Structure 1
Amino acid sequence: MGFKYAKRNDKKYFYERKDIVDQRHRYLREIRKYRRMQKSIVFLDETWANSHVAPEKIWLDETDEGGWKRPSGRGKRLIILHAGEDMGWIPNAALVFRSKKQIGDYHDEMNSKHFEEWFEKTLIPNVPANSVIVLDNAPYHNRVIDPVPTKSSKKDVMQKWLTDHGITWERSDLKSDLMKKIKESNPRKAYATDVIAETNGHVVLRTPVAHCELNPIELVWSKVKGYLRVNNTSFKLADLESLVPAAFRSVSQEMWRHFCTHAIRKEEKFWEKDGLLEDAIDEFLIELNVDDDEEDEISDDEELDHEDRILMSADYEE
């Protein structure tokens, strides 16, 4: 009958949500424009590695003996932050530090203060002039300067915001009146990273939510972690940390170029698909009211697709 019993792919339907399609198409238009302008496109992201990381398969003798005994648990954790482009890693831009936690989401170990300090003092001085810096929607990447009040904000906060932005209000105004004036001013969010980048002649571009496949550094991280996995023999955090520079060197300029080209192919597929989806979504919205403020249920750390996993495992000539 043409049916098969398989794992459900919720991300597939998430991709077709109107707000996500709009977000994705804005990204695709912007990155196309910057490529036509021949700007350097710099991709950044974080990853992690545990001290007990090891290959899942090893050579064994006939008695199933061989290799080394891996300690139980995941061990202590390194957090790794870096950036690169089609010419390779951005020089002198790596940040590697030891996590205070062994479990939980590694994103909890980074905050906007630390990220912005690295962004301004380590990354920005080393990227090519007039670069486009691509990052995802992690909260610490996107600290809002002068946040816009919401309906739940206190009345005095709304009043102060309006005053700071040169908008008149009356003491008799209710919160609903103040909120209406705020919305009518059509405020735009201002992000700290954008301000830092623009002050130094660069532009920040954000990938759509849950579209990690558009960032080639995700494939780069697979190679870096693969190197650490194979060469980690002592299972000590200090030794794992000492392997990181060599793991970076294991990802050649050729690999970076190949992964960036792969991301461009992904962009082209989405561009074509979105053109076909546009009319279908318009019809669909007649029957379904999409809430743009709905909380996203799929993170940027979702698995990459089958094609990406094949690419991650490919070998390259130096």
Structure 2
Amino acid sequence: MGFKFHKMDDILFFHERRDIIQQCHKYLREIRKYRKEVRPIVYLDETWANSSIAPERLWLDEEGKGGWKRPSGKGRRLIILHAGSKNGWTPNCALVFRGDYHDEINGEHFLNWFEKKLLQNVPERSVVVLDNAPYHNAALDKLPTKSSTKTVMKEWLTSKIIAFEDTNPKADLFARIRDAAPNRKLFQTNDLARRLGHVGLRSPVAHCELNPIELAWSKVKRYLKEHNQTFKLADLEELVSAAFQSVTPEMWRSYCKHVEKKKKISGKKTGCRKTSWRDSSSQMR
């Protein structure tokens, strides 16, 4: 087959990180459990669209004519947040605004949408699946780090009623914080969901193929590309609503079934085939 048995010195090869494999196992176990409990599963995500969004290919005549000229730059950007399930888009949940993707979407902005729009409109006892974007992972109780000042460390220890001496060096203060820290990180999104009877579930890192909303985004952007003719942001905003309607509940059901096929496995305990995550990661790369 053309392979040779080599000594592994400087040869590069692709493989899935062990911690991500563990995340995959954990995610599959939990989502299978929630499905058996017949709990609604809602997938959320965000995307963006530039005002110059247009098809990459067009039908042209022999002289290369027949299309329209797209602006040279990307133009201003729309940021779009939404969620959906096998029943279609979650009602009254869409958020579309102008801005820069990395500057405008932050922990505070996202949590406000998550609490006041998403959680108020999902079915009872929903399982909300979200990825590991930094603004999804705002800590419920942010721990001081090694680089934090002694004042910050002392304030945190005082708030937890943990004894320390003012003369303790910084290393000793951080050791006390580390010993008192919970075994797992607690997120604000999970806490907000729990208060309303829902569950927050994080998908594995670098496995967006497990989220059916990615397929819905593809359909939405295809619609925007085909119908965006003025390249004006205001006109693009009006197209977004129609783009959402182009993704029907039937499509959402097919997207969810497609993702569920990727989660079907042979093992009963781990919820994952022995080689599936290694194979899928190498294919993605």
TM-score range, shorter chain: 0.7 to 0.9
2:38, 2:133 → 1: CA distance? 27
Given the alignment, which residue of 132, 135, 141 partners 1:140?
Answer: 135
Structure 1 residues 71, 138: CA separation in 2 closer, same or farther (over 3 Å shift)?
same
Structure 1 residues 107, 213: CA separation in 2 closer, same or farther (over 3 Å shift)?
farther
1:228, 1:156 → 2: CA distance? 51
Measured after TM superposition, the shift of residue 109 of structure 1 is: 2.6
SS at match of 1:125: coil
CA deviations over 1:24-71 (Å, ceiling 9, x no partner): 221111111111111111110111111111112222234322122222
SS at match of 2:48: strand
Amino acid of the structure 1 residue aligned with 2:22: D
Measured after TM superposition, the shift of residue 277 of structure 1 is: 5.6
Tell whether the 8 Å contact from 2:263 to 2:272 is kept in structure 1 after alignment. no
Measured after TM superposition, the shift of residue 261 of structure 1 is: 1.4
Correspondence for 1:77: 77
1:245, 1:168 → 2: CA distance? 56
1:132, 1:11 → 2: CA distance? 36
CA deviations over 1:164-200 (Å, ceiling 9, x no partner): 2233334453333333332333424332212221111
Amino acid of the structure 2 residue aligned with 1:160: E
* TM-score when normalising by structure 1: 0.77
Measured after TM superposition, the shift of residue 268 of structure 1 is: 2.8
2:64, 2:248 → 1: CA distance? 36
Correspondence for 1:126: 121
CA deviations over 1:48-100 (Å, ceiling 9, x no partner): 1111111122222343221222221212211111000111000010000112x
Between stretches 211-220 and 192-201, larger displacement belongs to 192-201
Question: Percent of counterpart pairs with the same letter?
Answer: 58
Structure 1 residues 253, 236: CA separation in 2 closer, same or farther (over 3 Å shift)?
same
Correspondence for 2:205: 209
Amino acid of the structure 1 residue aligned with 2:54: A
Instruction: Within 5 Å, give how 1:49-60 maps onto structure 2.
Output: 49-60=49-60
Bigger relative contact order, structure 1 or 2 (CA pairs below 8 A, ≥6 apart): 2
Correspondence for 2:7: none
2:44, 2:83 → 1: CA distance? 4
Correspondence for 2:180: 185
1:29, 1:17 → 2: CA distance? 19
2:244, 2:158 → 1: CA distance? 50
SS at match of 1:80: strand
Correspondence for 2:274: 276
SS at match of 1:52: coil
Between stretches 76-85 and 259-268, larger displacement belongs to 259-268
Amino acid of the structure 1 residue aligned with 2:201: L
Structure 1 residues 11, 192: CA separation in 2 closer, same or farther (over 3 Å shift)?
farther
Correspondence for 1:283: none
Amino acid of the structure 1 residue aligned with 2:158: T
Structure 1 residues 62, 172: CA separation in 2 closer, same or farther (over 3 Å shift)?
closer
Structure 1 residues 270, 249: CA separation in 2 closer, same or farther (over 3 Å shift)?
farther
Given the alignment, which residue of 151, 172, 179 partners 2:146?
Answer: 151
Between stretches 260-269 and 33-42, larger displacement belongs to 260-269
Given the alignment, which residue of 244, 248, 251 partners 1:252?
Answer: 248
Tell whether the 8 Å contact from 1:141 to 1:193 is kept in structure 2 after alignment. yes
Amino acid of the structure 2 residue aligned with 1:176: A
Correspondence for 1:92: 92
Structure 1 residues 270, 210: CA separation in 2 closer, same or farther (over 3 Å shift)?
farther
CA deviations over 1:134-190 (Å, ceiling 9, x no partner): 111111111113211222222232232223223333445333333333233342433
Correspondence for 1:243: 239
Between stretches 234-243 and 187-196, larger displacement belongs to 187-196
SS at match of 1:133: strand
Amino acid of the structure 2 residue aligned with 1:70: R
Between stretches 159-168 and 85-94, larger displacement belongs to 159-168
Structure 1 residues 251, 193: CA separation in 2 closer, same or farther (over 3 Å shift)?
same
SS at match of 1:126: coil
- RMSD of aligned C-alpha atoms? 2.8
CA deviations over 1:97-117 (Å, ceiling 9, x no partner): 112x4xxxx233311111111
2:266, 2:254 → 1: CA distance? 19
1:248, 1:215 → 2: CA distance? 17
- What are structure 2's unaligned runs of at least 5 residues? 4-11
Amino acid of the structure 2 residue aligned with 1:153: S
2:258, 2:265 → 1: CA distance? 11
Between stretches 170-179 and 247-256, larger displacement belongs to 170-179
Given the alignment, which residue of 85, 104, 110 partners 2:105?
Answer: 110
* TM-score when normalising by structure 2: 0.85
